[in-house]
Chains A and B, each alone.
Chain A
Amino acid sequence: MRRAIGAGGRLAVWSAPLAFLGLFYFYPLASILALSFGRGERGWMELLFETLAAPATQRVVGFTIWQAGLSTLLTLAVGLPAAYLTARYRFRGKALLMALTAIPFVMPTLVVAAAFNALLGPRGWLNLGLMALLRVETPPIEFSGTLGAILLAHVFYNTTIVLRTVGDFWSRLDPRLEQAARVAGADRWQVLRRVTLPLLSPAIAAAALLVFLFDFTSFGVILILGGPRFATLEVEIYNQTVGLFNLPLAAVLSLIQLACTLALTIAYTRLAERISRPLSLRPQTYTQKPLTTWRARLAAGTILLLLSGLLLLPLAGLAARSVIRLEANRGESSFTPGLTLDFYRELTINRRGSLFYTPPATAIGISLAYAAATVGLSLSLGLPAAWALARQPQAALSRLFDPLLMLPLGTSAVTLGLGFIISLGRPPLDLRASPLLIPLAHTLVAFPFVVRSLTPALRSIRPRLRQAAAMAGASPRQILVKIDLPLIGRAVFVAATFAFTISLGEFGATALIARPEYPTLPVAIYRFLSRPGALNYGQAMALSAILMLVCAGGMLAIESLRGGQSEF
């Protein structure tokens, strides 16, 4: 008796994720594109070709792809060694390290820019140190307004994607495959090139796709760290929409951005089909060893130093700034920085009797509530989608839907935000001013992450396992519960941490939809940063430090949930 799922069943599995995407993504997007083109004086095809032919557009598209590709390569270069370390070795403080490396992902761009400037800016520690060392008058390192600043910020933000996606997969690869190759006479380099990397390639490709799309639609980093000489498609769309209200041109640029995303994702899905292979995934207790040899310790030390310098040092600088007072006391003429908790104390005082004053505890609660909702929603939508993709990669439905699932990551937030306004404004779905729209928007971003984290793990499960269970009379549901879910348990937690951090750090959509009485931590930080006065700036830094703690705490909590669960 064979209990395969028929076409009807497949559609049923797809129905929830597709209904969600249809209602909250495709419908608003189609509405705003149609309305925008309707405002133009000419047909949209004509405008599209004219825009594509313009050298200015080609420059922007070229730069967008160029910086995203470069950023992705650099992120892989940093993330892969780190993934190796956490995947293959057991060491003390690993859980904390994993939690800390997730923090950059949630930090608001303005705050990150401030952190980098404190280190690398013209008056940053590094430049001041070098100026003293080299006895020169001008800062030797030029940072803000350079391509280097953009790349560094992208690596800072996205290393966690590679570390988690690839690290999880790597930690379950059977080391016997590599050992066998060594026994057969291959050297370390050959093993890496011929065995490890090919086996890892599905996870690396998935991580690279996610990182690339994030960099491809980069907005804040380009504006704030790159400065006005750099523009990505996303920046141009914002300028055309908000600055000039040229909706037809903004819509054309959005279409170009979408087309690039779609082409890339289709290329990825074709590649993934070729490189995915069933594997015997092993529990971590089996694949990981302690750091015993000097060689391993040296490698681990180097990787940890790199990670700390790149990811943790800027964060530590921010946290330090939140407890350091820079202004002199009244009457004191000398400039003596001192330690203070004033900024934290001030956060709890509603000095202006303001209507939208939010105590930090409330902002934490609001951020966590949205994040929990995003985790729940994106997992319940992402699991069936990933399952369907992994089970029938060749089915027409999968081939059609797989690339579509990634589109939200390549969509301009400004465009989609306006789409919500015009499409979700009629009862029973007048969500335009609803706080519900925030977890919905966060889920749109988190959903592709969930699917991409789960699919490689699901695909690697040997079909024979399922077939054997089916032969023994297990129903598809039993196979899912007894075989698939236990085997991908780890990947589910990786997906959950992504959904959690995406929601915790999201600013663009949240600010557009925000109900001022429910500010998230990033929105509250931005409120302080947009006002003059050292006290306001200090409070923004204090809230940023709180956001770091909340993020690390949340990651550790998710980790501990997993801790007690046996993997097989």
Chain B
Amino acid sequence: MKKLFFSFLILSLLLAACQSAAPAATNTPLATAPAPTKTPPAAPRTLTVMTHDSFAASERLLRTFEQQYNVKVQILTSGDAGSALNKAILAKGNPLADVFYGVDNTFLSRALKEDIFEPYASPALAGIPAEFQLDAQQRALPIDYGDVCLNYDKAFFAAQSPSLPPPQSLEDLLKPEYKGLLVVENPATSSPGLAFLLATIGHFGEDGYLDFWKGLRANDVKVADGWETAYYTEFTRAGGTRPIVVSYNSSPAFEVIFAEKPLDEPPTAALLADETCFRQIEFAGILKGSKNRDLGEKWIDFMLSAAFQQELPLQMFVFPVNPEAKLGGKLSQYVGFPNKTANVSPDAIDARREQWLSAWSETVLK
């Protein structure tokens, strides 16, 4: 009996310890003894950045920013990109953070309509190509982009006899020789899935995309819930049965960089033909009601700086919008970019998303 109570006691102590330890741990790193300068520096302010759970950055770069502006940067991740944006919208007026990063062009209109951002005409925008600057009022500033493209398993196509070349266009996917080879993600639950649906709308137009999907269905397209299942379960590279998968133009390069053993060339390739890819652009903005607008501006300038932009590919698997940022060795060697992506405007996406999704679901799933 005593032992039982003893274990209760331990558990409650643990609970108490966690409660006091956790918040303390967040505040301590910079609250150390004053630096040996003549004027003691003011206590660092805190800048809070809200983002999705794919956010990553190097510690070195972030510490540089913190030291430069005497600030502690607190990153909050809030689930996937859609969930994070929803939280930012519901916290409007009493924002959880100063800056929100990670709304892409498929969600841009929702963010702008809900009016969560304050405009900021960053001087850094001058060097950013106009194609990325989708918000003329500069409330949402472009940070990075990535192209959702079809990927294929090179070994699979090399081993086919009679020989079968990889598909060269969306239309190829309807041919009988590609029957049962493609896996896509459900656009209702997956961001690359939605991007690929938009690519087909951009290419075939609103009148033609459903016919294309009807054809894909007849050609035995497989629909997975998300990228992880499509890429790591259904794709032939992972032991599945589908040698063509909807992924990113960057995926083949990362197959080399994150290979089990060093590889000479990527085992996969991305199809980069005209109007087969959809470009996702991610934006950041200063949240309305931020109490640290000055620091928020500095953070956005920092994210647009060549130093931060250069790190984007290896940290977050996306590409810099700032042309001054240079891609590293293996990346520039293995990543290809489509010349012409299939585009759909953010406004059209916002207005028609529900309709497209339900029409797609009627056509492909029912």
Which A residues contact B (CB, under 8 angstroms)? 32, 35, 110, 113-114, 117-118, 121-123, 144, 223-224, 227-229, 238-239, 241-246, 325-330, 340, 342, 352-357, 369-370, 372-373, 375-377, 379-380, 414, 417-418, 421-422, 425-426, 432-436, 439, 485-486, 489, 492, 511-518, 523, 526-527, 529-538, 561, 564-566
Contacts and interface: CB of A to CB of B under 8 A. Distances in A.
B96 A353 contact: no
B132 to A, nearest CB: 24
Nearest to A527: B53
B259 A533 contact: yes
B38 to A, nearest CB: 31
Contacts of B74: 433
B308 interface: no
A109 B73 CA distance: 32
What interface size band does chain B fall in?
35 or more
Given A242-B82, A535-B259, 4 more contacts: A355-B56, A418-B90, A516-B55, A533-B257
Interface stretch (B17-25, B165-173, B208-216, B339-347): B17-25
Given A110-B228, A122-B240, A244-B354, A426 B247 contact: no
Contacts of B77: 511, 514-516
B188 to A, nearest CB: 5
B18 A421 contact: no
Contacts of B263: 327, 330
Contacts of B53: 511, 514, 516, 523, 526-527, 530
Contact of B15 (A241, A354, A377, A527): A377
B363 interface: no
Contact of B23 (A342, A417, A435, A486): A435
B331 interface: no
B227 A530 contact: yes
Interface stretch (B122-130, B231-239, B273-281, B296-304): B231-239
A563 B240 CA distance: 46
A532 B233 CA distance: 12
Nearest to A563: B3
A68 to B, nearest CB: 19
B223 A227 contact: yes
A565 B14 contact: no
Name which of B48, B74, B233 has the most chain A CB atoms within 10 A of its CB: B233
Interface in B237-263: 238-241, 247-248, 250-251, 254-255, 257-263
B360 to A, nearest CB: 10
A242 B314 CA distance: 28
B207 interface: no
A532 B18 contact: no
B258 A328 contact: no
A110 B229 contact: yes
A123 B76 contact: no
Lowest 5 A-B CB distances belong to which pairs?
Answer: A533-B258, A376-B15, A376-B11, A242-B82, A223-B225
Contacts of B121: none
B58 interface: yes
A333 to B, nearest CB: 10
Contact of A241 (B18, B78, B86): B86
30 contacts: A113-B233, A224-B229, A228-B223, A243-B188, A325-B260, A327-B263, A329-B261, A330-B264, A342-B260, A354-B56, A354-B58, A355-B58, A375-B11, A379-B8, A417-B83, A425-B94, A433-B48, A433-B76, A511-B53, A512-B87, A515-B75, A515-B77, A531-B258, A532-B231, A532-B251, A533-B255, A534-B255, A535-B258, A565-B1, A565-B3
Contact of B258 (A32, A527, A536): A536
A258 to B, nearest CB: 20
A352 B258 CA distance: 11
Nearest to A326: B260
A489 B7 CA distance: 12
B233 to A, nearest CB: 5
Contacts of B14: 369, 372-373, 376
B152 to A, nearest CB: 14
A373 B75 CA distance: 24
A368 B221 CA distance: 43
B189 interface: yes
Given A376-B12, A422-B90, A534 B259 contact: yes
A326 B255 CA distance: 13
Name which of A118, A242, A515 has the most chain B CB atoms within 10 A of its CB: A242
A372 B82 contact: no
A439 B16 CA distance: 12
B280 to A, nearest CB: 15
B79 A227 contact: no
Contacts of A113: 229, 233
B202 to A, nearest CB: 19
B4 A485 contact: yes
Contacts of A245: 86, 89, 110
Contact of A352 (B23, B262, B314): B314
Contact of B188 (A228, A434, A534): A228
B4 to A, nearest CB: 6
B229 A512 contact: no
A354 B261 contact: no
A241 B60 CA distance: 37
Contacts of B8: 376, 379
B97 to A, nearest CB: 8
Name which of B1, B62, B82, B317 has the most chain A CB atoms within 10 A of its CB: B1
B27 interface: no
B186 interface: yes
Interface in B26-77: 26, 48, 53-60, 62, 74-77
